[in-house]
Structure 1
Amino acid sequence: MSSIDAQAASAPIATDYSSARADGPPQEAPGTVTGTDDEVSAFDAISPESERARERFIPVTRFALLDRLTSPTAWPNGQAQEARRFFRYLDHWRRQQYTAELHELEETYEPFSPDSDLLMTRAFSPDERAVMQQRILRGMERILQQANYVQIQHSDVAQILTQDSAYGLDLHVDLCAFDELLLFYRGASSRRNHRRRWNKFYLREEFDVPIFQRLFLLFKVKPFEKHVREVMQTQQLNRRDAEKFVKKARETIPSEVKESCVYMKLFKNIPRSDIEMVFPNTRVRFRFYDKLRLSATAGGGLTLGTVSAAGKIAMLASNPVAAATALFGLGGIAFRQTMNFMNQKQRYMVVMAQNLYFHAMADNRGVMLKLAARAAEEDIKEEMLLYSVLAKEDAYMQDIEAIDAAIEQYLASSFGVSVDFDISDALERLTADGLVVEQPDGRLLTMPPAEAALHIDKKWDLFLDELPDPVSAEGMEFEGYSGSR
């Protein structure tokens, strides 16, 4: 351990509640951005760095936090080792709770999974599938919120989609193609990148690219019939024209994307102005500069070809061979210019695919597993921080805001991070597990570390004894294989 780490580890969380309340928000470490204590809104995701609120995500591993919080000098009467043992018990206990919740969610998701290779032995009515679909959405929303992700509302998605591209692409997404759509992010920051532009004489320049460090996408494609009915109603079209409109709007959606499936994607370091590329129906459009360049090239080539071929075409009666050669050459020029347009669009697609390849993290069921693990880790970090305060000092419910500020100050001074600590959520979990009890006078009575570890041990012993039998209220069992979805 370095000397800096040793100094930080030996410094316990400040518990001078009165001074914490008077001092206001924690002092920011150098290089961090001061935000507000308000909840992070989706619009903040596209605001300048200096205007964004702090997020609740704690960008420190639970292992580093465990070492800091259980240093020998941080606990009185040699309780550091007992506290470490309790935190390890609590870590495994919290993960087990998420595992039990995840089992039920995975069972519900199985009929909607595009990757399932299991035998389907249960049929579901449309109403049952609708109930299960909403259960998946609500379950994922809860996991994402516990993992300290922030939701991006549809109105904000539309605004983000108009931003200039960081990769020089002009992308378009039709959000009306989706029956369900969820977007969550965690870690809205920026990174340095390089580019060369013609108006700067192609000199190399640095610029900041606003990014989402993590971006979650859940979508379900709207059933074709439902989409057609909506187009008929909103655009006053007859059924034939509405079907043509919908087919053209959905022609970029790969055939592998099924209407009956719910898709989940997790990405990293996605430029905020290029989130269009994570959707399955992304259209690549030409930028104004490319339209101008290609139009000028095509127009010039066709004009020169037409002028040079005009004389030979006029000799069609006297010299048909020369006229045919001129027509063939003119057709070749037109074909070459058409291919230039197609090749430019193909280059755009390659740029989008190459960048997306390095941003992808997980798909579908893998997303559920990864986010559930992150949610459990966020919970245990919050609980370790709060317990480290409540177990050492007399605390009351009226001190909660000051304790919150003290923990935020500790994270800023020890790790140089600015966090909006979610104290109410952590206190609710510790109370639900019986580790903290609120007395009639408002005092928060907390079990000492050794007793708390035994308490978790007993809860583990009862866990399997009280394990409920899984009961599925949807579907009907049948024999045989249901075939493809």
Structure 2
Amino acid sequence: MIPGDTTPGRGEMQTTAIKDAVARQAALADHHHVVPESVTIEGFPDDGLDVVPPDEERSREHFVPVTRFALMERLTAPSAWPNGSAVAARRFFAYLDYWRHQRYGARLLELEQTYEPFSPDSDLLLTRSFTDEELDGMQLRMVEGMKKILKQANYSAIDPKSVEEILTQDSHYGLDLHVDFTLFEEVLIYYRGASTRKDQKRMLRKFLRKEEFDVPIFQRLFLLFKLKPLQERVREIMESEKVSRKEAERMANKQRAHLPAAVVPGNIYMKLFKNIPRSDIEMVFPNTEVKYRMMDKIMLSGGGIAGLGGPIVGAVTKFGALANPFVAVPIVIGLGGAVFRGAMNFVNKRNKYMVVMAQNLYFHSLADNRGVMIKLIDRAAEEDVKEEMLLYSVLAKEQANRRDLKAIDVAIEQYLKSTFGIDIDFDLDDALKRLIADGLVTEDPNGDLHTLPPREAAQHIDEMWDSLLDELPDIDPHEGVEMDIDRLRAENGLPAKEAADA
């Protein structure tokens, strides 16, 4: 039986259902994949590069694109549970939801404390000082913590090298973009929900009539970056380019010219975007440089040449009169005006590009920095709850053994496909580990899985909640020391004590 089967008379899952699922598994084997840790660009379609493989070659995602409320509604239908236990199951799922979010809340507190020295948005006084070694350890813990949260939220990693390889392609918005990745000490790029959306564009071959086409997008795109210290980049340039320190500093400063002034090496920046075209992934970086496409250069240069044509012809026909300064001055002014118009065409085109980029990032942006952390923590908890509800709905209705898990996995995927029309790779192993860790499922030496009934499972979470405050982890920081009042004032730009007293 599938997890939320509401067929009359089938409220209790039967062993034969697992055997049927085993048979279905063989037929579905070609579609059952594992999402890789890092996605590289191989086997792209002929119509342009993408940072992920095409749909038919890409592994299915773990992401369950259904709200936990919709899932709970279907999984707790009265006919889906035997002996009228649907009400108890619904109550247990509500307890489980609160419990999982609370556990992630504790992780959020720890991450927030670790992130504080790197936050670009903090409006709080800096009261603690850290050594370079301590900051390095906190940075590592922060980045690794975000990787774990992203994995739990069912995001997939993108190798930054994949982004570099598509920089030569025109973007969806007609922009040729460049990003210098050598500036970054840390770069994480993750996505969730690689899909397509419909868009329209006027086509010259159709006499400027609009034509509809599919745009590959990331429904969610996460970016974390931290700049390298300037002197570290200078040393890299000296070594790679074999130049003096002075020349390396000039080159390093030129590379940073495209960065906003507010972006500084000591901070860790996080961004979350929605519905970003996959070919425009470079647009989300802070040092994105807008370049002209070859066609733009030809057209703009052509316009400049055409503008120069008239004055040049006039200059040739009046060459004999150049000795007269009153004749030469208008010709020079005409030549200068044509050059100026050509230059202004380039400037206007670039400004138009920048407006397009700013408008699209404005509408695609979801959260920044600490807001990203909070949003991802919530999404990770929600994904866990959905996976656990699905698996529990199977295990609580029938005795199962570890050897049955692959069949159960397939049965859950079939349920999601038939109920919601979604095709995903259900992450059964991760859900089972959490249910076992919380004592809701136990495994004996023979591999038999024993699951608490809904009423007992709810009571078990109730008891864990009661003991929660007694088991809270110590959030006292292990790094850094509190500053005295004089240093605190100096570090935060406050007036000295003598000036304040005066």
What TM-score results when the alignment is normalised by the length of structure 1? 0.93
8 Å contact 1:149–1:184 — kept in the other structure?
yes
Residue of 27, 33, 57 corresponding to 1:37: 33
8 Å contact 2:226–2:265 — kept in the other structure?
yes
Alignment of 1:464 onto 2:489: no
Aligned partner letter, 1:399: D
Superposed, 1:83-482 pairs within 5 Å as: 83-309=89-315, 315=321, 317-318=323-324, 320-478=325-483, 479=485, 480-481=488-489, 482=491
Alpha-carbon deviation of 1:37?
1.5
Structure 1 unmatched runs, 5+: 29-33
Mapped partners of 1:9, 1:65: distance in 2: 19
Question: Which is worse superposed, 299-308 or 263-272?
Answer: 299-308
Aligned partner letter, 1:298: G
8 Å contact 1:35–1:52 — kept in the other structure?
no
Q: Secondary structure at the match of 1:437?
A: strand
Aligned partner letter, 1:43: T
Alpha-carbon deviation of 1:316?
5.1
Mapped partners of 1:455, 1:377: distance in 2: 20
Question: Which is worse superposed, 116-125 or 154-163?
Answer: 154-163
Mapped partners of 1:198, 1:233: distance in 2: 50
8 Å contact 1:9–1:69 — kept in the other structure?
no
State the partner residue of 1:31: none
Q: Secondary structure at the match of 1:219?
A: strand
Alpha-carbon deviation of 1:178?
0.6
Mapped partners of 1:422, 1:111: distance in 2: 35
Alpha-carbon deviation of 1:393?
0.2
Aligned partner letter, 2:23: A
Q: Secondary structure at the match of 1:250?
A: helix
1:206-233 deviations in whole A, cap 9, x for unaligned?
2211111100000011111111111111
User: Highest relative contact order (Cα 8 Å, sep 6+), 1 or 2?
Assistant: 1
Alignment of 1:71 onto 2:80: no
Structure 2 unmatched runs, 5+: 42-50, 494-502
Mapped partners of 1:356, 1:198: distance in 2: 27
Alpha-carbon deviation of 1:125?
1.3
Alpha-carbon deviation of 1:14?
6.5
Q: Secondary structure at the match of 2:265?
A: coil
8 Å contact 2:154–2:383 — kept in the other structure?
yes
1:303-351 deviations in whole A, cap 9, x for unaligned?
3223324566764543x23322322232122111111111001111111
8 Å contact 2:12–2:397 — kept in the other structure?
no
Alpha-carbon deviation of 1:156?
2.1
Aligned partner letter, 1:196: R
8 Å contact 1:37–1:53 — kept in the other structure?
yes
1:283-311 deviations in whole A, cap 9, x for unaligned?
11111111110011112212322332456
Q: Which runs of 4+ in 1 moved over 4 A?
A: 5-15, 25-28, 310-314
8 Å contact 1:9–1:71 — kept in the other structure?
no
8 Å contact 2:177–2:289 — kept in the other structure?
yes
Q: Secondary structure at the match of 1:386?
A: helix
State the partner residue of 1:483: 492
Q: Secondary structure at the match of 1:186?
A: strand
1:406-452 deviations in whole A, cap 9, x for unaligned?
11111111111111000110000000011101012211011111111
Alpha-carbon deviation of 1:12?
6.6
Aligned partner letter, 2:22: R
Distance 1:129 1:12, change over 3 A: farther
Mapped partners of 2:166, 2:376: distance in 1: 24
Distance 1:265 1:439, change over 3 A: same
8 Å contact 2:7–2:80 — kept in the other structure?
no
Aligned partner letter, 1:483: N
Identity %: 55
8 Å contact 1:188–1:211 — kept in the other structure?
yes
Superposed, 1:50-65 pairs within 5 Å as: 50-65=56-71
Alpha-carbon deviation of 1:157?
2.4
Aligned partner letter, 1:406: A
Mapped partners of 1:10, 1:276: distance in 2: 55
Distance 1:428 1:345, change over 3 A: same
8 Å contact 1:14–1:406 — kept in the other structure?
no
Mapped partners of 2:32, 2:305: distance in 1: 55
Question: Which is worse superposed, 124-133 or 46-55?
Answer: 46-55
Mapped partners of 1:428, 1:135: distance in 2: 23
CA RMSD, aligned part only? 2.2
Q: Secondary structure at the match of 2:252?
A: helix
Q: Secondary structure at the match of 1:50?
A: coil
8 Å contact 1:10–1:74 — kept in the other structure?
no
What TM-score results when the alignment is normalised by the length of structure 2? 0.90
State the partner residue of 1:21: 22
Distance 1:315 1:374, change over 3 A: same
Mapped partners of 1:351, 1:419: distance in 2: 35
Question: Which is worse superposed, 94-103 or 221-230?
Answer: 221-230
Mapped partners of 1:11, 1:203: distance in 2: 56
1:19-68 deviations in whole A, cap 9, x for unaligned?
1111127879xxxxx84423245137522222222100000100011011
Alpha-carbon deviation of 1:179?
0.8
Question: Which is worse superposed, 163-172 or 291-300?
Answer: 163-172
Question: Which is worse superposed, 11-20 or 95-104?
Answer: 11-20
